[in-house]
Amino acid sequence: MSFVLRAFICAAGLTAFAATGVAVEKPPEMGDPGLRQAGIPDSVPNISGMWQLKQYIRQIKPFDGSETPWQPWTLEAFKQRAVAEAAGKPMYDPNADCQPSGLPRVITAPYPHEIIQTPNEIIFAVEVMHTFRIVHMNSKHPEHVEPGHFGHSIGHWEGDTLVIDTVGFVKQTQIDEAGTLHSDKMHLIQRIKKVNDTLEIEFTIDDPGAFTKPWTAKRVWQWRPDIRFSEYVCEENNRNVPGADGALRNF
C-alpha cells in the first residue's frame, strides 16, 4: 500500500470517528502513523500528524519570567508600535501584506500545523497562508544561505528531543504578533520534546543585532487528529493593510 494511500485511509478513519461523536482513540505513539515513513529508527519519537497551539499569547517573552533583553532600538520600536495601536492607527505588519509569518512567530500562531517525518527531512506545513518549512536532518548549513522568511533549518535528535538550528532570516518579519523586531543576524534554536499528546517547544533567540543576550521562550502544541487544514487565502490589495499614515484602508 502506498504512503499516500495509507495517509488517506488514516485521515478518513479519524474523520469518520470524529463525525460520529465517538471519542477518537489515540494510537500508542500518539501520532498519525500514516504520515511517518519507513526508515526512521524506533528510538525516534513519532511527532507526525496534526498539531495546534494550546494557548495563544500574542507577545513572545522569556519563559523564565525575566524581561526581554532589548537593544535600545528594538525597545523603542516596540513602544512606538504599542502607542500607535492604542491610538487606533496600527503600524505596518508584513502579515497584512500577505508575507509569511516566518520564525519564531509561526510557532506561536493559533493555526494548525502538520508534521511529516521522513528519514532525511521533517516538513512543517502551516495552515496560515499554506506555507511550509523543511528541516534537513543530520546535515549542515551551506556556506552561503539565501535569506528567507523561514531561514535554513537543520536538525538532529538528542535522545527524545528534536533540535532544530535555523539561520538566514530576512529582517522584515516580526518575532511575534505584538511586533517585536529582529535583525538579519538572528539565529534560532528549537528544542522539541513529545510529552504524551503534546509537543513542548522551547526556542532560543540569539540575535546580537536586536537583543543584548540570547533568550528562551516556550510554547506547547496539542495533538489534533480531529482536524484538517482549511483553505487560507491571502490576497493583494488587502483592505486591512495600513497606509502611509498608519490608518487601515477600508474599501
Band the pLDDT of 3: cuts 50, 70, 90: very low
pTM for the whole structure = 0.81
Residue 243 lies in a domain: no
AA letter at 120: N
How far lies 153's CA from each of 52, 137, 188, 246, in Å? 21, 9, 9, 34
Dig out the grid coordinates for 231 from the structure: 483553505
Instruction: In whole angstroms, give the CA distance from residue 176 to residue 191.
Output: 18
Residue 203 lies in a domain: yes
Residue 248 lies in a domain: no
3-state SS assignment for residue 224: coil
The CATH number assigned to the domain holding 68 equals 2.40.128.20
In this prediction, residue 38 carries a pLDDT of 67
How far lies 40's CA from each of 5, 47, 98, 220, in Å? 19, 12, 36, 24
Q: Which of 21-35, 52-66, 197-211, 212-226 has the lowest mean pLDDT?
A: 21-35
Residue 114 lies in a domain: yes
Residue 230 lies in a domain: no
Instruction: In whole angstroms, give the CA distance from residue 46 to residue 41.
Output: 10
Higher pLDDT pick, 109 / 234: 109
Band the pLDDT of 97: cuts 50, 70, 90: confident
Residue 251 lies in a domain: no
Nearest to 63 by CA among 245, 211, 205: 205
Q: Which of 16-30, 48-62, 105-119 has the lowest mean pLDDT?
A: 16-30
Nearest to 138 by CA among 120, 159, 165: 120
**DSSP state letter for 58:** S
How far lies 80's CA from each of 7, 70, 246, in Å? 48, 14, 12
Residue 244 lies in a domain: no
Residue 238 lies in a domain: no
* Residue 161 confidence (pLDDT) above 90: yes
Structural domain that includes position 111 = 3-223
* Residue 57 confidence (pLDDT) above 50: yes
- Written as one string, the DSSP assignment of 147-183 is -BSS-EEEEEEETTEEEEEEE-B-TTS-SSTT-----
Q: What is the pLDDT of residues 169-197, one digit of tens each?
A: 999 999 999 999 999 999 999 999 999 99
Total domains present in the chain: 1
Instruction: In whole angstroms, give the CA distance from residue 76 to residue 73.
Output: 5
